[in-house]
Structure 1
Amino acid sequence: MKKFLRNIVLACMIVFFAVALSGCGGKTATEKAEKPVAKTPLTVHYGYQPGHVQIVVAREMGWLKEEFEKDEITFELEKFASGPAMNEAFAGNRIDFGQVGDQPAIQLKSNNVDVKAIGVYSNGTKITGLIAANGANINSPADLKGKKVGFVVGSVSHQLLYIYLKSAGLKPNDIQQVNLASSDILSSIASNHIDAAVIWEPTLSNVVASGAGKLVTDATGYKENINVIVGRSEFLSKYPDITVRLLKVLDRAEKWIKANPDKALEIIAKNSGFKPEVLRPGFENVIFDLRLTDEAVKSIAETAVFLKENKLIRNDVNVKDFVDDQYLKAAGIQ
């Protein structure tokens, strides 16, 4: 009997101390969940280039703020002249996302910068091309032999130039290669510093509109121009939800642009500094489709092979590892 009473007293003491400790030792899981968690402000850095559309429209229409402000997340957009310049920012961890052509994106990955392509912001064959100065007597890629040709080293124009040359039976050393910033192409053509250039929109149409040069050919039949949205792998892994929400905002902008092309053109003209009439040809020829389609992935893979064969990258790039469509799928876009 005494043993029975002793066990009861012992059990009561254990319960008493357990309750006491739970009261002093902290909140229950339910109470913790009910208590608001302090939000840590976060700034997301996003790189783009003059003439890029979705991200600029999303900002100007207030959709980035609408989606992220409640969580104290701010997007800072930074404009770059070209993909290679943006690559430097990625390498220095100064941006989290960026919009570049497939060549600079693959070169970035080849240089051991841990990034992934998570979407396509634009594509098409009429948004890059070969332009020639008036009087240069250049009417096809075959006429480039011996000429001074400007392009942005490490950009999509670099690859396209080499494709043009190969199609005409020429090699890179058959021309005088001139590395230029995209912003210097027009003045270089106008001053006859170069005879021709391979460049993208809106510089392409700007040269033609100025009267300083003419379009010789676009990329139709030569190369599908795939421009990708690249994200730092560290950021993607740490903030997958932000990545998915961002893609949803860009998808919203894409749909609005297709339904309101003239209004979108006004927004981009104001942001880029180019006149609407200069932007319009490229705007009408570009294809907006965020998806990483089989065709897009195939084109990216072909670019990777081309770059390695032409010794424009040192390390092989596994495109299956580089391209990551899980965020598009989670957003219901892919």
Structure 2
Amino acid sequence: MKMKKFIAVFMISVLAVLTLVGCGTDDDSTSGKTENNSESGAVLRIAAQPYPLYTPVYVAQELGYLQEEFEAVGATYEWQEFKSGPLVNEAVAAGEADLGFMADLPAIIAKSTGQPIEIVSNIAYGEKGLAVLVKADSTVKSIADLKGKKIAYATGSYAQHLLALLLSNEDLTLDDVQTINLGASDQPAALANGEVDAIVIWEQYISKLTSDGTAKVLADGTGVKRGNMITYVVSDYAKANPDVIKAYIRALNRADELLASDPDKAAEAVAADFGVDTKLMRKIISNFTYSTELTAEDIAEITKVKDFSLDAGIISKDVDINSFINTEYVKAAE
């Protein structure tokens, strides 16, 4: 009797364990993106730039969307800031970052030099987000008046492309002006002190310098340059961690939705990141269209920038746009 009782108790215990194991398996299959995810523990090293051109990424960072979406796939991220796209390119080339966001031209330059990267999302575009500024009391009245003048911009940035386009419209080239390589943060002082006659700069500086009376807009990208901001990723990282890239894009999509539905809340969340007040940030937001989607128009614009850069000698090696732009991650993140 004791033996029969022991066997019965043993069998009941085994059945109970099997039932619990079965329940655990069902839970894992429905949650799907935690302990059993092959990307659990992955770290995405993000090379950021503190400019409103990339407002959705900063909204996603400040309001916790990035953290939440990364936690859902068992991943984390590291955040480091740089002052320009070319500096982001250097960090990625040195193996210090996996993902960077920047304007179209520096991304094209990076790919042209052989960096193993691919564009995985759009971030924004805005023709008024980039402009040539002169002092408020400057005698320079047109782009044609810049001939022979000193103009500062960050070499290799999309500011270089806008200036080249504007000069071209006046039958001028970059050789017809004196160009000075200056980062965005150094340009306002150079303009105010009279060290240069004009600067080619982006937001938040455009709004700050024009609102305080320091400078005026000589010309912006309206009708000349769409001004696409994109995200690129090291290809090997994306292949090994596709769910992490999709998580990043989902976080940006949430930020885009907030920017559309409640721009005041979005502005309040990120104004301090860009050194402006909420009111000015709200104005800046209105100058951009924020979206991760890589439309046919976006791809055509990036191709146009690539072709111009090749013809102008800004890049020496052509870039295959079809292999450079990967729209699959954006589609999968919808």
Residue 134 of structure 1 deviates from its aligned partner by 2.9
Q: Deviations for 1:13-44, whole angstroms, at most 9, x for unmatched residues?
A: xxxxxxxxxxxxxxxxx99x959659852321
> Which residue in the other structure is 2:319 paired with?
317
> Which residue in the other structure is 2:41 paired with?
41
Q: Structure 1 67/145 Cα, relative in aligned 2: closer, same or farther at 3 Å?
A: same
Q: Deviations for 1:205-245, whole angstroms, at most 9, x for unmatched residues?
A: 12212322111121111111111111110111101122122
> Which residue in the other structure is 2:247 paired with?
245
> Which residue in the other structure is 1:140 paired with?
142
Correspondence 1:242-321 to 2 at 5 A: 242-321=244-323
> Which residue in the other structure is 1:117 paired with?
119
Letter in 2 for 1:290: T
Secondary structure at the counterpart of residue 200 of structure 2: strand
Instruction: Return the alpha-carbon distance in structure 2 between the equivalents of residues 38 and 281 of structure 1.
Output: 42
Secondary structure at the counterpart of residue 295 of structure 1: helix
Q: Structure 1 265/314 Cα, relative in aligned 2: closer, same or farther at 3 Å?
A: same
Q: Deviations for 1:253-286, whole angstroms, at most 9, x for unmatched residues?
A: 1101211111111121122222334433321110
Q: Deviations for 1:139-192, whole angstroms, at most 9, x for unmatched residues?
A: 221111111111110000000011111111112121110110100111111111
Secondary structure at the counterpart of residue 219 of structure 2: strand
Letter in 2 for 1:88: E
Determine if contact 1:126/1:285 at 8 Å carries over to the other structure. Answer: yes
Q: 1:104 aligns with which of 93, 100, 106?
A: 106
Instruction: Return the alpha-carbon distance in structure 1 between the equivalents of residues 198 and 186 of structure 2.
Output: 12
> Which residue in the other structure is 1:216 paired with?
218
Question: Max radius of gyration: which structure?
Answer: 1
Letter in 1 for 2:306: A
Q: Deviations for 1:73-130, whole angstroms, at most 9, x for unmatched residues?
A: 2122222211111111111121111110000000000010011111110102111111
Q: 2:182 aligns with which of 180, 183, 197?
A: 180
Q: 1:84 aligns with which of 80, 83, 86?
A: 86
Instruction: Return the alpha-carbon distance in structure 2 between the equivalents of residues 108 and 175 of structure 1.
Output: 26
Determine if contact 1:126/1:282 at 8 Å carries over to the other structure. Answer: no
> Which residue in the other structure is 2:160 paired with?
158
Instruction: Return the alpha-carbon distance in structure 2 between the equivalents of residues 170 and 67 of structure 1.
Output: 48
Letter in 2 for 1:280: R
Secondary structure at the counterpart of residue 290 of structure 2: coil
Instruction: Return the alpha-carbon distance in structure 2 between the equivalents of residues 248 and 38 of structure 1.
Output: 18
Runs of at least 5 residues in structure 1 that lack an aligned partner in the other structure? 1-29
> Which residue in the other structure is 2:6 paired with?
none
Determine if contact 1:150/1:180 at 8 Å carries over to the other structure. Answer: yes
Identity value in percent: 31
Secondary structure at the counterpart of residue 228 of structure 2: strand
Instruction: Return the alpha-carbon distance in structure 1 between the equivalents of residues 49 and 66 of structure 2.
Output: 18
Instruction: Return the alpha-carbon distance in structure 2 between the equivalents of residues 64 and 221 of structure 1.
Output: 34
> Which residue in the other structure is 1:235 paired with?
237
> Which residue in the other structure is 1:19 paired with?
none
Letter in 1 for 2:58: V
Q: Number of residues paired by the alignment?
A: 302
Instruction: Return the alpha-carbon distance in structure 1 between the equivalents of residues 68 and 237 of structure 2.
Output: 21
Secondary structure at the counterpart of residue 217 of structure 1: strand
Secondary structure at the counterpart of residue 99 of structure 1: strand
Determine if contact 1:186/1:206 at 8 Å carries over to the other structure. Answer: no
The alignment's C-alpha RMSD in Å is 2.0
Letter in 1 for 2:65: W
Determine if contact 2:37/2:73 at 8 Å carries over to the other structure. Answer: no
Residue 47 of structure 1 deviates from its aligned partner by 2.0
Residue 250 of structure 1 deviates from its aligned partner by 1.2
Q: Structure 1 63/164 Cα, relative in aligned 2: closer, same or farther at 3 Å?
A: same
Runs of at least 5 residues in structure 2 that lack an aligned partner in the other structure? 1-20, 29-34
Secondary structure at the counterpart of residue 126 of structure 1: helix
